[in-house]
Structures are given as structure tokens and as C-alpha cells.
Amino acid sequence: MAKLRKKIYLTAGYNTISFGSGRKEFNPKKPRPGLEEYIQEAGRGVIAQINNPENIDEGIISNFMAARFNKQGNLAALIPTIHPSLEYKPHTRVEGACGSGGLALLTSLKSIASELSDVVLTIGVEVQNTVKAIYGADILAGAGHYLTERKNGHAYFFPAKFSDRAGVCYDKFGYDYMRKGMALWYKQAIENARKNPKAQEYHNSIEDLYAAGMTPPNPKAFVDHLNIYDCSKVSDGASALIFASEEGLKKIGVGKKDAIEVVGFGTAVADLTKAPEDMTVMSTTKRAVEKAYKMAGLGPKDIGILEVHDCFTVGGLLALEAAGFAKYGEGSAFVQAGKTNLKSELPTNPGGGLVGFGHYVGGTGVRQAVDCVHQLTGKAGDYQVKLNPNKPYALMISMGGNDKTVTAMIFKKAE
Amino acid sequence: MNFDERMQNAAVIGAAGKMGSGIALLLAQEMARLKNLPENKDKDYRLYLIDIHPDHLAGLLQYLKTQLVKAGEKACVMLRQMYKDREDLIENQDCINQYVEDSLSVIRTGTDLSAVKDSKVIFEAVLENKDLKVNLLKKIDSFCGKDTLYLTNTSSIPITILNKESNLGGRLIGFHFYNPPAVQRLAELISTDATIQELKDFSLELAKRLNKKIVPSNDIAGFIGNGHFLRDGLYALREAKKLANDYTLPGALYIMNKISQDLLIRPMGIFQLIDYVGVDVFQSISETSAHYIKGEDLTDDLLKRMYDKKVLGGQRSDGSQKDGFLKYDKNRPVGVYNLDNGEYKLFDPKGWTGDIDKKLGDYPSGFSPWKNLLMDPKKGDKLSVFFRNLKASNTLGAELALAYLKNSKEIGQKLVKTGVAKTTEDVNNVLLNGFYHIYGPINDYI
């Protein structure tokens, strides 16, 4: 499909707190909300912003590994717990590892585009703090290829995957050059998160963030080329929003001023069993973004807000290159030049991103879209970006696994 | 016999005790590691854990299992390497489970001493009682080979005496772990003129394998660690008795505990530390030291009264703190013992303890508790500023704290002067690594 044949809107976004270590109220020994509570909080947070919730035609829920983190499958059947009118509606659960949220957006969009639904409730959730990080690493390793990668993989499987990418980047572009960009990425992520009361790093009180980000990696205790500040944390949380057609917006009584619309999207999925051809390139991300640009008839110069999947700082830098903002090898320089901060040409991850806001894995893609709704409708509070009128578009990239399952979407404020 | 051969058959006597169980844990881990080396695949490894309390042995196994899981979780990067050729072990969970199983599989528990007859290295960690230790060592040596090496965990009894009375001919060394052995990085090594070279070499290799920092101590009762701790505790008790006139005894104990933690920036107050070690253990260190060291009063009547009243502190098998000088709720002090009526007087920040806090005065600027400074790379500078301000402060708290620091420094200096420690650095190292202080007692702050 070259162009969308009808307008597709997103509205009524809601994020729960991204809960886990770093939040003052987090205590691993105390009881915490579970899957249902998060699904309900996010779903009801959406419903509170619309009228006539009985007009929701269906629900799409994304999640990665509740079957292992929470011993719970069949998540679509938890959607009716949000509101009585959701009982017996056709709900679906989707999964694409850390890119699950992106697939929830895609699936919701398809449903509206196909005219099977006018109003879709889209939810993403993950509750990971049920196990210690060392066992969580086993579970998250499922985003890689178990048969060929797990046995020889690292105890901290996914950090090691991106550590390997970082190591190749160090060899090619220089350790100091890369490390500075990664440390600045961390600093900016935390500074943004400190403006976002729902961010996991909202309470972060490290004085010298750059110095923390510059900490040399410690391969004995962790992975070879990343320090702990390079990594997003273990998070619990959920996000939700509404996908609607023009008709759908009317049915739920939402005006266009509170909505954004999709101008382009692209999903690309690569072969899970194959290692990346070039560790310094996020080739699947590149393809997904190119598809979205093509459909929208836009390019990097038109993007005024960027939401990227920075599960690791180095991933953030590589995404800048894959999405065409920086040339190959220049992602670090781009960040060092201050081109991604809140007041720059390309405010990136204004709510903190995965490093600052947190990363409830299967919900993150939905969280990114919620942040785009908030930013483009002026509801982002203290982390609101002042949008350049010449660049009125937001681009979000949801990535699953080691650059395997990627969805990119471009939005603008609804007209 | 080299180190690895010797470690094929080891034993811990008093294994269900606090120190014995920690030593058992460390040995089981090292033996599991050895067992998993390709060259040792067909060898048999045995760790005999002997204790006179059969009921404690069940608790010991549970303790070891819990601790091994924790250790495995922490060392998983290394475990995946260790099990890299085991195709059936894929996830972290698989490797950790196997590690626990491998470590537990070397263990044989029992109450019968004769089980250790083939052991080549024996760790003694029974109660701090010379006659008990001597009798045990003699008995074990009567059925063990004459090449068996003995390591005693005594924290105060001179090794020369134990070696001589047990007729071990230099096959005994003092290898003093700190509590808890699995966590504390320090071990004091006490050899004597009689100690055979092989045992010294073995001990140094053991320290290396178990990742312990060795500080050599001369064979003088109490050695360095308890030499300092005992005198530090006695000082606090004596000061408390002086303060009792104005603040009552519970109030005085509260004061000394509080300033020794807060204003000395230590991990625990002095009476909390004595409770942690055990009032009975502290009393035994006091008695043993007083017996061997003349010309210095190393006993205290207040301590003796606590001991006689059986208010002993120490820990339950789940690691929680028992009441001693202080009363605890979830391991935090919430009250202080009143010797007059045998009851605990609960802290009351809005009442009596609040009044005392006011009298102690505000803390000088630059104050930061121990836990905040522990990992702070700039702690040296911050301590300098704080202690400078402490000296300039004229509150009661500052006055008591400065006197305490001065006394602690003098104790340290005396340990060097009397030859217990070879150097100032050794004293400081013991306090830094064995007591988790963030600065040594012999410093330029005071």
C-alpha cells in the first residue's frame, strides 16, 4: 500500500508509572501491582478520556513474555476486566519481543484501515519485576534465537548483544568517540526523565550524569563493552490509547484537537536465525523507517520529534544513523553536537526514552505512541517540546530483539 | 601434596556455627569449582561438616543451599564459562541449579568426629574455649594422618598455646575469618615460629582462591581485629558508666552507640556491633585476652553483668538479630537494655531519646552517614571536611566523638607498638576490610 486510503487517528493516550528500581516507592520485598492492575489502570486511563466506551469495537494487547514472567497466557481475555462493555468483543494479543508494542500499533491500524473496526483500544504491558534480573535475562533472551544463540550467549544475554555491537563500533570509530556519545545519551535521557513524573528515573539524583555515563565497562561483573548506565532498566508498566477512524472519533466524542493522525508507517522483520551482517548498522530499523518515509512522502528533515528504541545507549546512536538523521558512524557526533536535546532541531525521546522513562518491554511501542499523542496535542507537561512549525511530524521506532522486528510510524497533529 | 590434592578431602569442625557455616560455604564453592575442571573430572571431592548439634545440621544445609543460590546468581557470568561444555545447561537458571547441586554434592554432614579421619585439611571453628579446642584437636589428630593440616578460626587464643597443648608440631595455623566469612574480605593469618612452611603456603593459596585479603598478625591474644574491637568496646562501656550519672545507664548506652555510628561514620554503633558479634563472644574475647595479656585491664563488670543475665545478642539461624545491649525490630535497634529491671527501654524520638539527641547537639555540616559514603569516590575529601567541622564544633556529641576517635587511634598505635601488628597499614586494613570502616583508626583526621 503506497498511501493510506483513509485517515487513521490516535488519541486518549495513557501511561502508567514505569515501576522498578530507581523509583523511590519501589521495594522488591513488598507486594506490587500485577499484570491485571497495569492493564486495568492503562485501559481505564484511556476510557476516562473518551465518551461511550461501549463503542470500542475491539482490543489489541501487546506483551512479550507474561507466560514466563507472570505464568500467564491468554492476555486478550484480560481486556474485558478493564470495562464491562469490553466483554465478548474480539480481542487479540500480539507479540514481537521488545517490538511487541509496535505490532500492537500496526495491528490496530490494520483493523481500522480494513474497516472492520472504527475504534480500537490498544494496550501494551509487561511486568518483569517478578524475577531477579539474572533470571529475567533468561526470559528476555527469548527475543534472540534460542537454539543457536542461547547456549553460547552471555549471562546477561541482551546487554551482551548490544555490547558486541558497541565493541565493533569502538574498533571502527574509537572508544572515546563512542563512549562520549553514549554518556551524553544517558545524561540527556535522565535529564528528560526528571521532568516526567511517570518515568522510572524521575527520582534519579546522580550529580554528575556524564561522569556516570563515562564509567568504564566491567566485564567481570557485567558485559564487555557496556556499563549499567548504558542499559534501560527492568520495568513494570502499561500504556494504552485509542486508534480510530474519522467515524470512530465521533463515536467516542473526541475532537481532532485531541488526536494525531498516521501519515506513514513501515514494518520490517528480519530472519531471527541470522546474525547481523554488519554490527555497526541497524539494517532492519533502516528498512522500516524508509518504508514509513516513503508512504508519508517525507524525510529526516521533516521530523520535529523523534522517539527511538534506546534499550541501550549504543542502540540510540545507531538508530539515529538508521533513520537518516546522522550519516554512518556519525551518530555519536550528532549527539555530542547537542542535536538531540529538548531544545534542539530534533528533540529525541523527550519523556526519557527507554533509558530514562523505563522499558516495560511489550508495552514500550505503545508508550512511544502515547508520548507522540501527548507531544503533538500539547499535553506532555514539563517535558513538552516546542514544535518547529516547519517540522510538524513525529517519528517513532519500535524495535524487537537485536534489530529484528521493527515498526516505524510517522504522525502529525490531526487536521 | 599440592593444594588441589589436599582440597579433595577437607573438614570443618563446628560447621553449624556462625563462622563454621560460612567457612563451609566458601570451601564447598571452591571444591565445586575444582571438581568441574576437566582434569579433575574423575576425582572424588569430600567436605565433611561436623557439629555436635544434629538439629543444627539440617539448618546448616538449608543455609548452604540458600547462600549457594545467591552466590550462583552473583557469579553467573563465571558459571556459564565453567559449564560451557555442558550442552544440557543452557539458561542461567540451569547453570545456577547445577552449581548449587555440584557444591552440595561434596558435602557430608554428621556428628561423628571420626568421619574426618581421611581429611587432609581441617578447619576448626568451635566455641572460643581453649580446652575444648585443644581436646578436639588432640582427638582428631589421634586418628588422622600426620600430614593433616589444621586451621583454627580462633579470634583470640594464642596459636602457640593451642599448637603446643594439642601436640600438633606446627601443623596448626590461625586463619581468622571475619563474620560473615562469605562476605567479609579480610582474614587474619597467625603463624608462629613452629608453623610448618607447607601450611603457610597452603593458607596463602587458600586466601587467594577464596578471594580473601590476608593481614598477618602476630600471635598475641586477640590479634589485630579483636585487639582493637575489644578495647574499643571496653572504652565505650567505661564512658557509658561515666555518662550514666547524668543520663541513666540506658541513656548513656544509647549515647555511646549513637555517636560511635553517626559521628564516627561507622556501619554500626559499638553496642550494635557487640550484639552482632554476640555479647557472649565479646565476653570470651575479653576473658581470653585478660588471661594472656598482663598489665592492662581487659575486662568490664558491666559486660560481665550482661553475660550473667544471659542477655547475649547474636543471630538466629535466619540471620535476624537477637536482642542484646539493644532491642531490635527487623534488625534495626529500637530500644536499649536496662540492667536495673531487665527490660528494654524503647527509643522515643519525641521523648527521652529526642531529649538526648538535643543535648548531643546538631551534627556538623558535611555529615553524611556511612552508607552514603561507602561507595563515594570522593569520600576521602568529604571525611576531611566533616572531621574538620567536627573538631570546630563544641557540642557534647562532637566532644564525645573526638575523644572516641582519639582513643581508637591510640588503640591502633598500641597494636603496632606492642608488635601485634607489623605496620600501621595492617591495622587500618583490618578495620577497613574486616569491620567495613571507611577510614582506618590511625589517620590524620584526628
Please spell the DSSP secondary structure of A182-208, one letter per residue: HHHHHHHHHHHHTT-TTSTTTT---S-
Looking at the predicted structure, is the pLDDT value of residue B10 above 70?
yes
* B80 interfaces chain A, CB cutoff of 8 Å: yes
- Give the 3-state secondary structure of residue A337: coil
CA dist., res. B334 & res. B257, Å (int) = 12
CA dist., res. A47 & res. A253, Å (int) = 11
CATH architecture of B3-216: 3-Layer(aba) Sandwich (3.40)
Are A154 and B77 a contacting pair at CB < 8 A? Answer: yes
Give contacts of A146 with chain B, Cβ < 8 Å. 90
**Residue corresponding to grid cell 553467573:** B76
* B90 interfaces chain A, CB cutoff of 8 Å: yes
Sorted by sequence, the CB contacts under 8 Å of residue B135 that are 6+ apart come out as none
Asked whether B414 and B442 are in contact (CB, 8 A), the reply is no
Mean pLDDT value across residues B308-332? 91
A-B Cβ pairs (cutoff 8 Å, strict): 29
CA dist., res. A254 & res. A260, Å (int) = 11
Instruction: List pLDDT tens digits, range B165-219.
Output: 999 999 999 999 998 899 889 999 999 999 999 999 999 999 999 999 999 999 9
CA dist., res. B119 & res. B218, Å (int) = 28
CA dist., res. A78 & res. A35, Å (int) = 9
CA dist., res. A278 & res. A165, Å (int) = 9
Instruction: List pLDDT tens digits, range A256-312.
Output: 999 999 999 999 999 999 999 999 999 999 999 999 999 999 999 999 999 999 999
Looking at the predicted structure, is the pLDDT value of residue B237 above 60?
yes
Instruction: With cut-offs at 50, 70 and 90, classify the pLDDT of residue B319.
Output: confident
Residue B446 has what pLDDT? Answer: 82
Are A151 and B79 a contacting pair at CB < 8 A? Answer: no
* B93 interfaces chain A, CB cutoff of 8 Å: yes
Residue A167, min C-alpha distance to chain B (Å): 18
Q: Of B299, B273, B293, B261, which is closest to residue B404 (Cα–Cα)?
A: B261
Asked whether B130 and B157 are in contact (CB, 8 A), the reply is yes
CA dist., res. B56 & res. B65, Å (int) = 14
Are A151 and B96 a contacting pair at CB < 8 A? Answer: no
Sorted by sequence, the CB contacts under 8 Å of residue A78 that are 6+ apart come out as A35, A36, A39, A61
CA dist., res. B313 & res. A315, Å (int) = 53
In 10 A of CB A276, how many CB atoms? 18
Instruction: List pLDDT tens digits, range A79-128.
Output: 999 999 999 999 999 999 999 999 999 999 999 999 999 999 999 999 99
Share of chain A above pLDDT 90, in %: 98
Using an 8 Å CB-CB cutoff, list residues of chain A that contact chain B.
132, 134-135, 137-138, 141, 146, 150-152, 154-156, 220-222
Mean pLDDT value across residues B81-94? 95
Cell of B69: 543460590
In order of their start, the domains of chain A are 9-132+234-257 (3.40.47.10)
Asked whether B261 and B268 are in contact (CB, 8 A), the reply is yes
Mean pLDDT value across residues A318-334? 98
* B91 interfaces chain A, CB cutoff of 8 Å: yes
Looking at the predicted structure, is the pLDDT value of residue A2 above 80?
no
Note the ipTM here: 0.90
Mean pLDDT value across residues B374-394? 93
Domain with CATH 1.10.1040.10 in chain B: 225-434
Asked whether A363 and A19 are in contact (CB, 8 A), the reply is no
The pTM score is 0.87
Complete DSSP assignment for A342-362: TTSSS-BSTT-HHHHT---GG
Are A138 and B91 a contacting pair at CB < 8 A? Answer: yes
Residue A339 has what pLDDT? Answer: 97
Residue of A nearest to B86 (CA): A151
Instruction: With cut-offs at 50, 70 and 90, classify the pLDDT of residue B41.
Output: confident
Helix A283-296 and helix A313-322: axis angle, to 10°? 40
Q: Which long-range contacts (CB under 8 A, 24 or more apart) does B64-68 make?
A: B64/B21, B64/B24, B64/B25, B64/B28, B64/B103, B64/B104, B64/B107, B65/B100, B65/B104, B67/B25, B67/B182, B68/B25, B68/B28, B68/B29, B68/B99, B68/B100, B68/B103, B68/B104
SS3 content of chain A, % helix, strand, coil (to 5): 40, 15, 40
Looking at the predicted structure, is the pLDDT value of residue A53 above 60?
yes
User: What mean pLDDT is reported for chain B?
Assistant: 95
Give contacts of A222 with chain B, Cβ < 8 Å. 77
Instruction: List pLDDT tens digits, range A154-197.
Output: 999 999 999 999 999 999 999 999 999 999 999 999 999 999 99
Residue A136, min C-alpha distance to chain B (Å): 9
For the structural domain made of B225-434, what CATH number should be given?
A: 1.10.1040.10
- Give the 3-state secondary structure of residue B127: coil
Instruction: With cut-offs at 50, 70 and 90, classify the pLDDT of residue A1.
Output: low
Domain with CATH 3.40.50.720 in chain B: 3-216
Looking at the predicted structure, is the pLDDT value of residue A62 above 70?
yes
Helix A313-322 and helix A175-193: axis angle, to 10°? 100
Residue A327, min C-alpha distance to chain B (Å): 36
CA B114 to chain centre: 28
Mean pLDDT value across residues B254-262? 97
